Structure 1
Amino acid sequence: MISRGSEWHRWEPHIHAPGTVLNNQFGSEDPWEAYLTTLESLTPTIEVIAVTDYYITDAYEKLLEHKAEGRLSNVQLLFPNIELRLDVAAKSGFVNIHLLVSNEDENHLVEIKRILKRLQFSAHNDRYDCTREELIRLGKKTDAKINDDGAALRMGATQFKVSFTQLRQVIQESEWARKNILIAVAGGAGDGTSGVRLAADTTVRQEIEKFAHIIFSSNPAQREFWLGLRAVTPEDLRARFDGCKPCLHGSDSHSQESVGQPVDKRYSWIKGGLEFDALRQACIDPDGRAYVGDKPPNSAMPSQVISHLSIGNASWAATPSIPLNPGLVAIIGARGSGKTALADIISAGCDAVSHFGSGTGGTISPSFLARASGLLEDATATLTWGGGTSVTRHLDGRDANGHLSFPRARYLSQQFVEELCSAHGVSDGLIDEIERVIFESHSQDDQDGAVDFPEFREQQTARFQQARAREASAISDISERIATEFEKEQLVNTLTTQVEQKKKLIGGYNADLAKLVVKGTEAQVTRHTQLSQAAQSLRSKIQSFSAQRRTFVSLQDEVQSMRATQAPEMLRQSQARHSNSGLGTQQWADFLLVYNGNVDDSLVGYLKWADQEILKLTGTPIVPGDPNVELIKQDVPLDTLPLGLITAEMDRLEALFSADKLIRDQYSALTRRISQETAALQTLETKLTDAQGASARRKDLQMGREDTYRRVFEAIIHEQQALANLYAPLMARLGASSGTLKKLSFSVRRIADVDAWGAIAEESLLDRRKSGPFYGRGALTDAARRSLKSAWEVGTAANVQTAMSGFLSQYQQDLLAHAPYAASQQTEYRAWSKQMAQWLFGTDHLTVRYEILYDGVDIQKLSPGTRGIVLLLLYLALDDSDDRPLIIDQPEENLDPKSVFDELVSLFIAAKSKRQVIMVTHNANLVINTDADQIIIATVGPHQPGGLPPISYQSGGLENAAIRKAVCDILEGGDEAFRERARRLRVRLER
């Protein structure tokens, strides 16, 4: 027994034949030839016919005769459909109900007639049974003018009404009826339950629909209702109607023109074998096994379906030819029976086995191919695909992984799953697979040329990471400037003292100078003092121009460095950051930073100007002459004269102060000293003024640093949002899903490692031996956890800025108190201050990461079995871009039976409608409650010395009683799984 199991076939569940008791429009001459020819030539081909007639089986028996004579070779199954009219009024008559009778019992005709005979109709003060003879008798009794038995039969059939209560009782009292009859009721308004409109008959209508296994209707809205997809849920249907029900539709042909031609090509399709039990299975799984439409439901693309496996050059392959179903294929058998062998062989034919060998060095040690590698010899696997192509591969792997080969299936071997879901932690492989599915959930346009998730993520986040780095660098620069201003603040008192001391010193020198003045030279001394002040003013101006000149020279050096080194390097870095720009060499050249104006000529001009100004103020040296001759007249403004002339006049006057050369020298020395100290005083006063403004500048810089810190977090939050956008398509799909799929979620969040942040300060920046709030280990970390952690992780950029401002307001003085250096140790303290600021406003302890959650638990904390569920979620439900066959070896590994039922069953049901799934399993739920389309049963023979034991396979669908018996015999819990699947239905399911 080897078949593809459950496949879609066209059924005709409601068709009349020539000679039908009522409304026979097939013609008076022999219509059977035309009727049979039409059935044989229909497209799509009808393979199952339920021959319908009112109350009797004559048409069915006649069709059986033609079938025995060789007609209807395309039809593999015939069974009777007996149409009855209930005593319940509908819109245009009475409700019609159908008895679909299994032909499995060779005495089924005798048995159904015995059941029908129990149905009785009372009229004319008599009782009439539902038999051909009694219907004729009723017809003649109704119209005494009728003599023809055929006319009397038709009259009797129009009069006979079946009591619903009696019908239900007869069926319930007969074990044979419960086993062999399925009840169908018309769902339309004319002769169906929808026509039962009176409020008083609501209960009757509900009871009839509850009694029925099948609804005859092609209305899509009715189908959705009976599948629990509309206002009522499947639970509601179970409570009110004994469960969901399949909707089927036949041509209801009463004439040649309508034979097998339902309106709008609304054909009935049943998935299963060509046997009556397939209809029972459709009652158990109406959504998966029954459909009305011009074509059966779509499944995997034919080109992505393995339709046949042939094993060649293998004496141990007792079943070398195996057809495969395009849906869900379950491979079962006792341990060591050859289940994994078949999965390995199919995978090898798909180039989906990445390693061959003895099971060492990273090969698939649990696999058949690994363990049997030395015995395979020239064995091959030939796969024929639904698109018509065939591929042959040696099972020893000699032609695997060629330069033209690629995996045509996804093989989840036991080792593959164990590696990805190891108990030692989530492997990179599992994360890589999740990221691949996330990446492929985006359209090709959204992917924007990225080849994988890391590149896609880099595209989306690089801009914000670069902004974060730029702002962090700016914080470092600002912090250094703040440290400088802070140092200046500390110098205010010192500079104030130095200024006062310098003023006193100059006052003392002036007093000493006055003592050296000889009587009669007072006018010359006064003039000398005037000249000295003018000279000092000129020297200050000359120093200012000299400083400008030095700046211009430095700017020349900077311009040269920028052109030669810095600008080209900045361009190279920009090209590296934006390598996908597509700009050519010449286009990139436009981005080279250049100066807006002609800075070279400008700087040369500035230097010339400075030199001229210095020369103008300095003047030319004066050769000493007669000391009694004035060089500068009294009425000449001193601020218009050069320094050289003024100093020459000062030297002339000094020669007149005294005849004593010693006094003259002393006077000259004091004058120079006073000039020097006055210059020094001016410098100190400038520094003092600068230091006094440091506090305001520091505060402005600190505000600027806090603003920059906010912008750092704006970049971090934008990066977080960009990451969230990567998962948005998948998150939207998960949010709209239900069941197991809804348990999977992704979370993008900021993680603040407060312990690491605090440890840096406590271990290398603060002197925790000093008394204060941060004395001892952990005090600073606790303060940060209270004040900053929440803002860092969930706050807005403004929240973070506010939190850091509050933290500094509360703890800045305490942090300074724990400095390892005194402020007087300027070099060390300044370096520490910069490090402290970089630590405070650093963000290295912050990471933006995504977490994969299953049922609210981080995937890294899940058990290996539950990680296996997540892996299967990816391949079965989320990996829409991959339509290749999925081959899985024992997906239930490490899971309890309840978890299998709760978590995996729905995944396999959803997946098999999109791709071919082949699984090796020991779990009854994964075979029965997934309604596997094909069950392949593996059996191994006795072991052969020096060779492989014979391995044989048989296969079929769950509608096959022998297959069901094997499932229950082999799989633990098989009986219970069958009962769970059918427990809410009144369809008897025999093993």
Structure 2
Amino acid sequence: MTKIVRGSEWRIWDLHIHTPESICQDYKNTPENWDKFINCLENLPEDVKVIGITDYYFIDGYEKVMAYKAKGRLKNLEKIFPILEFRIDTFGSGNENRLQKINLHILFDIDESKLEAEIKKIREEFIDNIKISKLEAHKTKKLSKENFSEIGGTLKDGFESLIPSTEEVLELVNSTTWKDKTFLFLGYKEWSNLEKNQQLKPLKDHLYSQVKAFFSNNIETNEKNQNWLNEFGNKKLLHSLDIHSFKDLDTYEFEENGNKKPIDNYHCHTWIKADPTFNGIKQIDYEPDERVSIEQIKPQEKAGYQAIDSVTITHSDFTHQTLYLNQNLNCIIGGRSTGKSVLLGAIAKKLNCDKPVKFGNQEYTDFVNAIVSGLSIAWKDGVENNDRNIEYFPQSYMYQLAKNKDGELDKLVEEIIKQDAVKNQLITNYDSFSSENNSDITTKINKLFQLQEELVKRKLKLKEKGDEKGIRSEIEKLTKELSELKLKIQITEQELEEYNKLKLKLEELTKTNETYNTQISKIQALKEKFFLNKDIDFDIVSLSESNRSYIKSSFEKLKEKFQKEWESEVDKISLKNSVIVKANSEVITEIEKNQNYIKGIEAFKNNNQYKEVEEKLKIQRDKLADITLIKKEIEEFILQIDSFKTSIKQAHRNFYIKIEEIKESLKISEGKLEILAFPKLKSNEFKELLNWSINQQSDEGKRIVNTSIENKVEDYFKLTNEIFEKLLSGTITLKGGNEHLGLALKLMATNYFQISYNILYEDTFNQMSEGKKAFVVLMLLLDFSDKDCPILIDQPEDDLDNRAIYKELVKYLKKKKKERQIIVVTHNPNIVVGADSEQVIVANQNGVDTKNRNGTKFQYITGSLENTKETDEKIEIILERQGIKEHVCEILEGGNEAFKQREKKYDIK
């Protein structure tokens, strides 16, 4: 069965378990209890994959455990380390009668293929070289159970009273033989008490410098103690119960039905993310914060549908293989054209990503598309699903976005902001406002131009009526002429005066009724104007079906109700006018029946000269009445025109004002990264409109078109208002095909403002270097995303400078990989090593000196950074010739010699 390799994975490492062979234990060292002990180990919780057999001074217990393993037992454990616990002669505090001995734990690197020889070497070249105390009498007595018993009387008494020298043990550990074969831990409790009882701090600091980590059996105080330990450096406090008896090892028992009994006492909260090897444990010295976690549940666990488990490749150009992925950071490395980006792009395309795998390279894209059919992807939950979401960033993607061509970056930022429901609603509301404002301005401009036309007509009509001064003179002349003719008529002066009053009154009322009847006709026509003609189907499309139905129904009922009320109000207003007309008509009827009026009519009806002058006078009076009415209408038109112009200008400014009102509410931040909203003038679009429509042959036209408005809002409004006034007055010349109304609509009803965004990360976005811009774009893509899906990035270093990679990107990847699975193609060692990639995928293209298995064009090998194997030139398949660490060094650093040469040249102290 092929071993599944996912690189560095989280496992529970319990490195403090004593055996029945240990000098100090409560199991009782019998064959029966040894079988029980092995049963306990075989039934540890399934996450426990690595244990340390930690016996005092001697390796006998480990040897016995490994004998069981050799017989096929303990298959649940991936690695068993031998750890010797030394009580050394540096003392912590205790009580006055009994000082606490410092416990030094020494983990040994064992090659299990040479197990017998390795154990013999530890006995003969380590244990046998330790003296049991510094006393002169014992200076030749080596560490052994026999010498403990001989000198102490009993094994236990000798163990309690005879203590090896701290200096001697550390000197041996640091010797050429053992310094690369051992890993040291200290008991936290005794070491933490070292300054008490007048002990010296230098001893404490010296011991701290010699070890790689600490042990504690108290999970309740672990966090507090770790915080205190951090004051000395960054070494980790590992948790284990320090098991000496079956009381803490209770997981082997079963119910009668075969189910395992619940775990009552055993627990270990030490999770280490590393291969179960000696090189794996060394990682907690290099990356303590990344590689160790003390908690009950598995750290950084991704949901099954949010992490790709494996990629199986069957295309003829590739070695048929399954690549298993880590839940955290996976780095694909290799030389040029070795199939790195091809693999990443094929995964993205298999999962239906619509981004190009390489901008402007169709041949490359076609090749990737051809591979997709020979690819299958399984997710962590065991499902093969090609429709699950990923985020794929091809080569130069961040750089392209950073250029903000066609506003792509603004669109990205807006999508980020829209993830917040409240902010999304603000933007949606603004879009709705913009659309409605456009319609409102369009309606008003059309009405304004109609009013302008009517005003022109009224002024022409006023001119046609004649000169008001001349009409008044004519009325005065005709009135005088009538007065002279009255003297010849058989009617008394009083009757004539009464008749003239009634006649003038009748004429005025008749004219008034004509005006009112015209008004009634216009008022009745307003019934056809719906009180509310808005349709809300678009506005409610995102609501649930039940809410949508309810709101639509309510809206339609209210529309019908308001329409009826509107028509009723129109009828009421018409009725008021009709009442006045009726009252006037009744007065006219009364006048027509008045005896003085009738007598006057009779007196003048046969006087043709008087009738002719009277008719002329009526015509002039009617003209004067018309002029008065027209002038009043003109005044009203001018007031309405001014009101519409003011309203239109304000409505046009509101495109800008509304963004100003909401910009603070759209602001978001994540750490040092901040996004600020602001109204941005689309000056290019505006200038294109002017260039396209205004005739620039005149100096005036040139001045208007070339007026600078770049990011100067008030200059923009000043210019638009000037052009608008000229369009209304017709005093601006347009290019052929353009009309004043059409340009006014495009000028004032179009929103030339958009919600744009300033990105701040130490500097404003425009002030950043290209590399920093690209990094900030990556942060935008990931920090503000509400997605949990895998992230695929192709060569991010292409967009960044080396300083940004090391200072920004590495730190960022370390943080982000804990939240989401990342797969990245890279040539940069800082990304792979600096970001502590959990899984490394090494790619190779078949060649004369770089052979693949079966001669296939592309092949891959996977493993952790701690996976190491010395290069064996005899192995023909290049990927199998050495370990992952060696491949990383060779591909990314140029090999050991190149790395060492650079280190010398840098001369870094």
Shared fold (TM-score greater than 0.5)? yes
11, 14, 24: which one aligns with 2:13: 11
Equivalent residue runs for 1:534-573 within 5 Å: 534-559=502-527, 561-562=528-529, 566=530, 571=533, 573=535
- Inter-partner Cα distance in structure 2 for 1:871 and 1:367: 28
Q: Secondary structure at the match of 2:297?
A: coil
Q: 1:972 to 1:264 in 2, by over 3 A?
A: same
CA distance in 2, matches of 1:115, 1:847: 79
Match of 2:805 in 1: 900
Other structure's SS at 1:954 match: strand
What's the secondary structure of 2:244's corresponding residue? coil
Corresponding residue for residue 953 of structure 1:
860
Partner AA of 2:433 in structure 1: F
Does structure 1 conserve the Cα–Cα contact (< 8 Å) formed by 2:660 and 2:678?
Answer: yes
For 1:909 and 1:784, the matched residues in 2 are separated by 42
The SS at the match of 1:669 is helix
Q: How far apart, in 1, do the equivalents of 2:636 and 2:310 lie?
A: 89
Which residue pairs with 1:154 in the alignment? 159
Q: Which SS does the other structure have where 2:519 is aligned? A: helix
CA drift at 1:537: 1.8
The amino acid of 1:254's aligned partner reads H
1:153–1:972: structure 2 CA closer, same or farther, 3 Å change rule? same
Give the CA deviation at 1:878.
4.6
**Whole-Å separation in 2 of the counterparts to 1:427 and 1:484:** 41
- In the alignment, what sits opposite 1:971? 892
* Residue 296 (structure 1) aligns with: 298
C-alpha displacement of 1:90: 3.1
Alpha-carbon displacement from aligned partner over 1:537-588 (angstroms, at most 9, x marks no partner): 22101211222123223444443x44xxx57xx6474555555632598652
The match for 2:326 is 325
Give the percent of matched residue pairs that are identical in Structure 1 and Structure 2: 18
The match for 2:244 is 254
User: In structure 2, what is the Cα distance between the partners aligned to 1:275 and 1:974?
Assistant: 24
User: What secondary structure does 2:559 align onto?
Assistant: coil
Letter in 1 for 2:381: G
2:392 maps to what in 1?
A: 412
SS at match of 2:272: strand
Kindly state the Cα deviation for residue 843 of structure 1 after the two structures are TM-superposed.
6.7
> 1:282 Cα shift?
2.0
TM-score (norm. length: structure 2): 0.74
Distance 2:365 2:807 in 1: 28
CA contact (8 A) 2:502 2:597 kept: no
Contact 2:239-2:268 within 8 A present in 1 as well? yes
Give the deviation of 1:121 after TM superposition: 8.3
Residue 387 (structure 1) aligns with: 381
1:919 Cα deviation from its structure 2 partner: 3.2
Structure 1 segment 512-911 matched on structure 2, within 5 A:
512-514=481-483, 524=492, 527-559=495-527, 561-562=528-529, 566=530, 571=533, 573-575=535-537, 578=540, 581-583=548-550, 588=556, 590-592=558-560, 593-595=563-565, 616-619=586-589, 641-642=591-592, 649-654=599-604, 665-682=608-625, 684=627, 717-718=657-658, 731=668, 734-735=669-670, 737=671, 742-743=672-673, 745-752=674-681, 777=703, 781=707, 788=714, 842=748, 844=750, 846-851=752-757, 853=759, 855=761, 869=775, 872-873=778-779, 877-883=783-789, 885-911=790-816
CA distance in 1, matches of 2:435, 2:319: 65
Equivalent residue for 2:478, pick from 488, 496, 509: 509
- Aligned pair partner of 1:925 in 821, 830, 847: 830
Report the Cα offset of residue 481 of structure 1: 11
Map Cα deviations across residues 624-678 of structure 1 (whole Å, 9 max, x no partner). Answer: xxxxxxxxxxxxxxxx63288666533544589xxxxxxx644443333334434
Q: Which amino acid aligns with 2:52?
A: A
CA distance in structure 2 between the partners assigned to 1:264 and 1:37 by the alignment:
14
- Does the CA-based 8 Å contact 1:116-1:130 persist in structure 2? no
- Which 5+ residue runs of structure 1 have no aligned equivalent? 374-378, 392-404, 448-452, 620-639, 657-663, 793-803, 824-830, 984-991
CA RMSD of aligned residues (A): 5.7
Q: Assess if the C-alpha contact under 8 Å between 1:98 and 1:183 holds in 2.
A: yes
Q: SS of the residue aligned with 2:476?
A: helix
Check whether the contact 2:19–2:244 (CA below 8 A) recurs between aligned residues: yes
List gaps (5 residues or longer) in structure 2.
252-263, 733-738, 869-882, 905-909
TM-score (norm 1): 0.69
Question: Is the 2:865–2:884 contact (alpha carbons within 8 Å) kept by the matching residues of 1?
Answer: yes
Task: Return the letter of the residue paired with 2:236.
Answer: P
Paired with 1:978 and 1:361, the residues of 2 have a C-alpha distance of 36
Distance in 1 (CA, whole Å) between partners of 2:400 and 2:777 is 8
| Equivalent-residue separation in structure 2 for 1:533 and 1:335 (angstroms) | 110
Using a 3 Å threshold, how does the CA distance of structure 1 residues 898 and 598 change in structure 2: closer, same or farther? Answer: closer
Q: 1:467 to 1:112 in 2, by over 3 A?
A: farther
- The answer to whether structure 1 residue 132 and structure 2 residue 132 are counterparts is no
Distance 1:975 1:537 in 2: 118
- Aligned equivalents of 1:222, 1:49: Cα separation in 2: 23
Pair 1:575–1:676, CA change in 2 (3 A)? same
| Superposed CA offset, 1:269-299 (max 9, x none) | 2222221110111221223322333432142
Distance 1:197 1:788, change over 3 A: farther
Which residue type is aligned with residue 509 of structure 1?
L
Q: Of 376, 383, 400, which residue of structure 2 is paired with 1:421?
A: 400
Provide the C-alpha distance between the structure 2 equivalents of 1:665 and 1:905, rounded to a whole number of angstroms. Answer: 112
Whether 1:244 and 2:234 are equivalent positions in the alignment is yes
Amino acid at match of 2:862: S
1:77 aligned partner, one-letter code: I
Give the CA deviation at 1:958. 1.4
**1:939 aligns to 2:889 (yes or no):** no
**CA 1:488–1:900: 2 relative to 1, 3 Å:** same
- In structure 2, the CA distance between the partners of 1:20 and 1:848, relative to structure 1 (3 Å rule), is same
8 Å CA contact retained: 2:313, 2:321? yes
- Whether the aligned pair in 1 keeps the contact of 2:846 and 2:855 (CA below 8 Å) is no
C-alpha distance in structure 1 between counterparts of 2:539 and 2:688, whole Å:
33
Inter-partner Cα distance in structure 1 for 2:502 and 2:899: 115
Give the C-alpha shift of residue 604 in structure 1: 9.4
Q: Structure 1: which amino acid aligns with 2:517?
A: R
Map 1:8-47 to 2 at 5 A. 8-21=10-23, 23-27=24-28, 29-30=30-31, 31-44=33-46, 46-47=48-49
- Tell me which amino acid in the other structure corresponds to 2:564: V
Give yes or no for the alignment of 1:90 onto 2:93: yes
Q: Secondary structure at the match of 1:132?
A: coil
State how far apart, in whole Å, the 2-side matches of 1:977 and 1:298 are.
36
Deviations 1:665-706 (A, max 9, x none): 4444333333443444455556678888999x689x76x976
Distance across 1 between alignment mates of 2:234 and 2:898 = 19
Deviations, residues 458-502 of structure 1 (Å, cap 9, x unaligned): 7444553356347646865897799799999999x999x966554
CA distance in 1, matches of 2:286, 2:250: 26
Do the aligned residues in 1 keep the contact of 2:490 with 2:603 (CA within 8 Å)? no
**Counterpart secondary structure, 1:251:** coil
CA–CA separation in structure 2 for the residues paired with 1:644 and 1:249: 120
The aligned counterpart of 2:736 is: none
Cα gap change, 1:197 to 1:435, in 2 (>3 Å): farther
Q: Secondary structure at the match of 1:642?
A: helix
Q: Residues 852-898 of structure 1, C-alpha deviation per residue, up to 9 Å, x if partnerless?
A: 63747887998886676456446655544343x44444343343433
